[in-house]
Amino acid sequence: MTRNESLGSLHLEGFNTTQKGHWTLTNNGHSVVLQVGGGMSVSGGGLPGVYQTIQLHFHWGSPSTNGSEHTVDRHRYPMEMHIVNMKSIHPNLSAALNDPTGLAVLGFFIDVVYADNVHFGHITQKLSSVAYKGQTTSVKPFPLIGLLSERNMSQYYRYHGSLTTPPCSQVVVWTLYEVPIYISWSQLEQFASEIYSTEEGAEEVQPLNDNFRHIHPTFSRVVYASKDAKLLTGTAGHPLRSALSVLLFQITLLGSFICGL
């Protein structure tokens, strides 16, 4: 872990406002994905350009296991949220995948408390409408900043890596925030127990659990800490060390490869 004093807060354009139109929440069989449309972008904080926000999605475990994709000194959080942003100079995702810094993904650990997160409720109240693979529902836009730990947005880790699903293209500038988002146990339970990776009416219904990739070594990649990162102690009591694990290659879910974001 190397501290980089030049890594300050990112500029989140449009995250404080309510966008026009509607957003779409989809169960794609691998995750729950919120397509947010235009009007928001991410820049600064050492990012090589301006990135348009296109979607956010989630990774979680099961009712009895944690499910974040990154770990802090082998500690895995209950969930992780990824906000995916595409470099604005590219006309589409295919073009961005040919750029070694074509995507910027903001990663947020999610931990649990007893009180509901009212902002997270914009999503969890819609989960029953996308319980099965292929189901889609509309979501009324809301200020996305409400989902984030706004007071701690200058505390993060940075590395260059890949998509966490095949084709696992090495095109991602990762920003992993140090301070988790908090939701309630009941909100976590909705993801872990009420979402399925199979279509409605399938002969064998499969819960959508453990949709995170396995831990892989860093392969000599440097992980940078922002100038304000506190190197906090993980929930499991392990201090953050240079052994911060980042996930670089492939994920297998329910015996098959996941494709796409």
**Domain containing residue 27:** 2-257
Integer Cα distance of 141 and 244 in angstroms = 34
Q: Which of 20-29, 31-40, 70-79, 189-198 has the weakest average pLDDT? A: 70-79
Asked if residue 83 has pLDDT above 80, the reply is yes
> Considering the chain, what percentage of its residues have pLDDT values greater than 90?
74
| Positions marked active-site | 30
DSSP summary character for residue 212: S
pLDDT tens track for 122-143? 999 999 999 999 999 999 999 9
- What is the three-class DSSP state of 191? helix
Asked if residue 212 has pLDDT above 50, the reply is yes
Q: Which of 52-61, 77-86, 223-232, 236-245 has the weakest average pLDDT? A: 236-245
Q: What is the pLDDT of residue 180?
A: 95
Average pLDDT over residues 190-216: 92
Question: 227 is written with which tokens?
Answer: 């100038």
* Domain total in the chain: 1
Q: What is the pLDDT of residue 145?
A: 96
Q: Please report, for the domain that includes residue 7, its CATH number.
A: 3.10.200.10
Confidence band for 232, pLDDT divided at 50, 70 and 90: low
Q: Which of 17-21, 166-170, 247-251 has the weakest average pLDDT? A: 247-251
Integer Cα distance of 239 and 69 in angstroms = 18
Per the prediction, the chain carries an average pLDDT of: 87
Confidence band for 248, pLDDT divided at 50, 70 and 90: very low
From residue 148, alpha-carbon distances to 67, 107, 117, 242 in Å are 19, 10, 11, 25
Q: What is the pLDDT of residue 184?
A: 97
